[in-house]
Amino acid sequence: MEERRENAVQQKSMKFAVRIVRLSQYLQEEKKEFTLSKQILRCGTSIGANLAEAAAAFSRKDFLSKSYIAFKECSETLYWLELLKETEYIDFNLYKSMHQDCEELKKLLSSITKTTKDSMNS
Mean pLDDT of 60-84: 98
Q: Does the residue 122 lie in any domain?
A: no
CA 117 to chain centre: 20
Q: Does the residue 121 lie in any domain?
A: no
Q: What percent of the chain has pLDDT over 90?
A: 93
pLDDT digits (tens, 9 = 90+) for 19-62: 999 999 999 999 999 999 999 999 999 999 999 999 999 999 99
| Confidence at residue 4, expressed as pLDDT on a 0 to 100 scale | 67
Which domain range does residue 20 map to?
2-115
CA 45 to chain centre: 7
Q: In CATH, what number is assigned to the domain containing residue 30?
A: 1.20.1440.60
Q: Does the residue 10 lie in any domain?
A: yes
> Taking 50 as the threshold, does the pLDDT of residue 15 lie above it?
yes
Q: How far apart are CA 65 and CA 54, in angstroms?
A: 8
Number of domains present in the structure of the chain: 1
Mean pLDDT of 82-105: 98
Phi-psi region of 91 (alpha: psi -120 to 50; beta: other; left: phi over 0): beta
Q: How far apart are CA 68 and CA 36, in angstroms?
A: 24
Mean pLDDT of 95-103: 98
